[in-house]
Structure formats: C-alpha cells, structure tokens
Chains A and B, each alone.
Chain A
Amino acid sequence: MDFYLGVDIGSVSSNFVLMGSQGEIYKKVYLRTEGNPVRAISTGYSILKKDLTQNQQIKGVGTTGSGRLLAAVMLGADVVKNEITAHAVAASNLYPEVRTIIEIGGQDSKLILLKHGIVHDFAMNTVCAAGTGSFLDQQAARLGVPIEQFGDKALDSSGPVRIAGRCGVFAESDMIHKQQMGYPLEDIVMGSCEALARNYLNNVGKGKKIEEPLVFQGGVAANRGIRKAFEKILGMQVMVPEHHDVMGAIGAAYLAGEVIVHNRQITNFKGDDFVLQGKFSSVSRECNGCANMCEVVCIRRDGEALAYWGDRCKKWENSLQPSSRKTAGEILAI
C-alpha cells in the first residue's frame, strides 16, 4: 500500500499524517515544536515510521506551515505550500460545500472564504496574536487548568463574565481583576473564550461575510469553549473535523498526491536513512558581505550543507553545487 506524507511545522505544534490514496488517514502525529523544528521533524517522522511495513511506501511528501522549507529540505518534499492553501484543500475535501474556514493555530489565526471549493478570499491576523493558541496556553498555565481541559471548564459556566478581548495584555489584566473580585473560575474562562472569539471576528473577520457551512480547525478548535462562543456570536453551526488539529498536514498530503499523480513523477522523498541516520543542524549567522546584513540560515546534515536561505543576493543559495542545490526559489516555484 502506498501513502502520502503531509507535514505541517507550525510555531507551536508539528503535525504529521500518513494518508492513503483515497484520502483516508492512516496515522497522525501531533507534537509540540518546542522551539526546535529540526528535532520535531526527525522525532515526528520516526514515530510515523514505526508502523510502516516493508511493502508500504511513501509515494509523495508535502510540507506546509512556517517551517515548510526546513521540512522540505530534511525530508525531500514534492510540494511546499503555504498554510492557507493547505487548510483550504483539506477542508474542502472533507466538506465539499464548505464556505467558511476559521483556523486558529499557535500564533496565527486565519479566515478563509471559499466558493465552489476554491479560496475566494482570506485574511490573517496582523500585528496582534491575541486569541491564538499561545495566549490560551499562557492563561491555562496561569490559572492552573491543563490546556486540554480549558475548554471543558468553560462549558461549566452558567453566566460568562465580560472580558475585554481587544488585546491579550488587557484581557489578562481583566481576567485577573475578575478573579480578585471573586467571580467563579469557569465564568472567567468562558468569558475569555467569548472575548477571543469576538476579537477574532473583529480583527481577522473585519468586513468579511461569514456563511455556512462553517468549519473550525487548527489546534484551538479542540477548545470547546471557543467553539461554543463562535456558535453563540455567529448564530451558526460550527463544525469541527475529527482531525482538526492536523488539517494543515492533511492538506499538504493531498497536494503532494495531486502533484505526483498529475505529473506522473517519482517522489523526491529522501528515505529513512537520510532522515533518521543523519544528524541535522541549522546554523544562522549575519552575512557581512554588504550592508544588508542578511540573516543567512544554513541547514546541514552531518556537516554537509543542504540548503541556505535568507540571503537577498542569493550568494549563499547559489554557492551549493547544482546537483545538491535546493534553493528556496525552486522549492517555492508555483
């Protein structure tokens, strides 16, 4: 049996899925990136790999997320896509009629509007990350509620308190204030969920027409309090897919499948030995070649440079031998 590997390396979590050629999810892995995407990629792959038998092969690899280039170099990707396209592809395969996707991840939140299964418009959070996973993580830790139970705690609330959600810093001080005033914890938690949903709709959803069917995905979709808050504010049914936490990776796997099937090409996947045997490291330094002072990143495997990026003049990118060269430009080529 053949599989497509989808990888989504995000700021907070790194997700991996093995998908069959009919779109069925064979295995998924959800890891915390913990600031070390290189380690997350090898760990994630080795966990996935455990269940594969000899005659089960990876036919294609797709990567997405802010660490998509890194994952592409370490694994050998056939397609490297931005998160918006990946999420839209995953959702529209699962729900062909979907019109709106709310995606809230570790540091990003996105709103994707679709027509006939195709992205029609999108928006991303700009300067403010209030209402994303990082903020919830921090609040859960501060209140001593495990993040997994944070949403359920909110559901116990009978009368949520009003929390100012315009800004994460203000939201926190408002929450502390309400705690000191003696409001019950679950009402404060639900209040924060509603504040975040309002903040999302006012910032990311500003001026956009949200229509049903509506899908809520990304790590924060696990939080049932936020889901309930969206349903309450929008007056719509909010669907959360079973694999909501790895939808980006699912989209990447779909896209890999399309490229492989359409181009009838053999995967660039580097294989187990390359991924698991070698020691990957990334080094970054400021290039002193000119006054631009680019922060150049070098990805190495056992000391051998695999890729460079971050240099405006492409001096470093082009310094690699053409055979092993994998420039960001090539990887990102549409």
Chain B
Amino acid sequence: MIRVGIPHGLFYYYYYPWWKTFFNHLGAEVVCSNPTTRLTVDQGVGTAVDEICFPLKVYFGHVLELKRYALDWIFIPRMVSVEHRSYICPKFMGLPDMIRASIPDLPPIIDITVDVSQSDRILKRDLLQLGKLFTPRESKIREAIKRAREEQKFCDTLAGQGYTREEAIQLWEGKATHSFQTSILNLGVLGHGYSLYDSVINMNLINRLRNMGCRLWFPESLDEDEVERAATAIPKRVFWTLGRKMVGSAIYLSKQPEIDGIIYLACFGCGPDSLIGEIIERQIGDKPYMLLTVDEHSGETGMITRLEAFCDMLLRRKNHIYEDNLSTHGQYADCHKGTI
C-alpha cells in the first residue's frame, strides 16, 4: 500500500479530515506525525530558517519525524488561498520549498498549490492530476473529492460544538475527548488555529483555562455568518482568511453580554498577528482583552501569572457588578472594604 505522510501542524488543524479521506479513498495509507512535543519543537527550531514564525518552525519538526517512517510521499500543500479574494500568510507559499531546501533526503513531496482566490478551476485540474498518482480512474478521484468534502463538513460541525479543532479531529477519528464542566467565566479565545489548538505552542493555554473553570468560545464555536457580518465593521476588508475570521469573531464576541473577556494568542514573529491583535484591541471597546504572545521560549511563569490575573480580574469585576443588587459579600473574597 502506498503510504502518504501528513505533518501534524499548520493547516492540518483545518483540513486534515479532507486530506485523509481523499488519500484513503484513493487506496493510500495516511501516516500523521504525533502531536507536538518538546522534541518536535527543539528539532524544528534547530532545522528551520530563523526568520519564520514559531508554528512554521514546529512544522519542520513534524516533517523530521515523518522522515523516520518509510513513506512514499509527504504531503505539504502550498497554501495560497482557500476562499475567494482572501489569502493565507505568504510564508505558507514558500513552505514546500523551505522544507526541501532545509531537510535533505525526504521522500518526494506532494506540493499541490491551493489557490482559489480567483477560481477553483486550476485546483480541480491539479487534484485530478494528483489523484492519478494513485489510480488511473477519474471517477474514483472525483468520488474521493466528494467524500473528502463531506467528511470535512462533518468535522467542522463537530468543531462548532465548543471543541478545539484538534479535539474535533480526535472526535472525528472516533477517539474520546474532553467533556465540559460547569463554568464560572465565559471567555473568547482567538488565534491562528495552528497555534491556538497545539497544546505545546499555546503552552497548554486551553487546558489551563478550562481547569480554572472557564468555558471557551473559539472562532469555530460561533455562527459563521455572524462572524462575517461583524468583520465588515472595519473600513478595509482584512484579506487574510484567518485574520478576518478573528477580527469578526472578536467584534461579535465583544457584543455578547455573557462573554466576560477575550484572549488573543499571538505568535512572536507572525506578521498578520502583529496587525490583527492591534486591530481587535481597537475594535472591541470595553470588553476585557488580553494579548498573549508566545514563541520558543519555554518559561511558563509569565503565562500562568497573566492568565490567573486576568481571570481574577474578571471574577472580581463580576462580583462587584452584582453587589448593587444582592449581597454577595466575600463570595470572591471582596478586598476593598478596608479591614478584614
């Protein structure tokens, strides 16, 4: 059986069900690298060029892991645009070339260009061509594309139920995942999916917040049309797909009274983040907002202190607002009373 390797990073989080179903249906076995570990990070950072962002460096680590397996192909698509008139960060355009230049002796790379900014005609043609690596029958390839689309849609629905995309993929593959507990705070958590849903890149952000009793809202948890409508609030359309979704999500969440605050996870070295984080801060008015920046630095103290302080602030604020109506003295250790 032909074995195709898919690195567990970047657009894996958005399109893994599509890719896996497509290759499986064509009769290939899909081998995915394991979730990111410190080792993946160390190897990736050691191999990648300096200038790229952290998640791209981690991706190099995943490719290095796949190199150890006996594979016939490695799938590293050249992501340019996944929707009309919107684009992915330009660093993704050069990714297959960067990998080729930095990691020798890899199995052949499938670097199909995904660019539907104008039309999907070329992508469709290329997919048929790609399918011919595995089967001569065009009908089978068309069927594979159709199935892939369906599975992707199903996984997207799962992701809409409050799960991270990583959890949704686990669910889609039939693995059990996290169950939600009662929450004391509702937080919007935004960021590029490949940083936000990778528990090593995000320094365990999601689990930490859930363990502190927060219910989390991701861009995928929100109604897509509402997000798109909210994103039109700023004068110039954001032409990055993920950036626009985050701006829209943030503006939408900022108008929901039950949302206590918004956290934006940015990567040091990410071009779009440096703009989007700032745009959001200016657009969301009074809603409590915190920007967290991560990179390969592994000290967790700064992250923990900020998360605790942010949650403390929101809890104490909540308590204060309720104070006018009902006495909750001391419920959250009220501290501005002078004496104890």
Contact = CB atoms under 8 A, between A and B. Distances in A.
Nearest to B330: A262
Given A117-B335, A259-B333, A334 B311 contact: yes
Interface in B36-81: 37-40
A121 interface: yes
Contact of A81 (B288, B308, B330): B308
Contact of B312 (A119, A207, A262): A119
Contacts of A235: none
A334 B339 contact: no
Contact of A291 (B39, B184, B211): B39
A117 B316 CA distance: 10
B333 A262 contact: yes
B212 A93 contact: no
Interface residues of A, number: 42
B325 interface: no
B142 interface: no
B340 A118 contact: no
A217 to B, nearest CB: 16
Interface in A244-266: 254-255, 257-259, 261-262
Interface in A53-90: 66, 79, 81-85, 89
A244 to B, nearest CB: 19
B271 to A, nearest CB: 17
B37 A122 contact: no
Contacts of B257: none
A169 interface: no
A79 B334 CA distance: 14
A84 B309 contact: yes
B330 A258 contact: yes
B320 A116 contact: yes
A22 B339 contact: yes
B308 A332 contact: yes
A292 B39 CA distance: 6
A129 to B, nearest CB: 11
B293 to A, nearest CB: 6
B160 interface: no
B335 A122 contact: no
B37 A124 contact: no
B38 A119 contact: no
Contacts of B302: 124
A85 B339 contact: no
Interface in A170-227: 207
Interface in B245-260: none
B181 interface: no
A23 B320 contact: no
A120 interface: yes
Interface of A: 4, 21-23, 66, 79, 81-85, 89, 92-93, 96, 116-122, 124, 126-127, 207, 254-255, 257-259, 261-262, 290-294, 312, 329, 332, 334
12 contacts: A4-B340, A23-B338, A23-B339, A82-B308, A92-B335, A118-B317, A255-B333, A261-B340, A291-B37, A291-B39, A292-B200, A334-B312
Interface of B: 34, 37-40, 184, 200, 204, 211-213, 268, 281, 288, 293, 301-302, 304-306, 308-313, 315-317, 320, 330, 333-336, 338-340
6 closest A-B pairs by CB: A117-B336, A84-B309, A291-B37, A257-B340, A258-B333, A262-B330
Given A119-B309, A127-B268, A334-B184, 9 more contacts: A21-B339, A82-B308, A83-B309, A118-B317, A119-B312, A119-B317, A120-B313, A126-B293, A312-B204
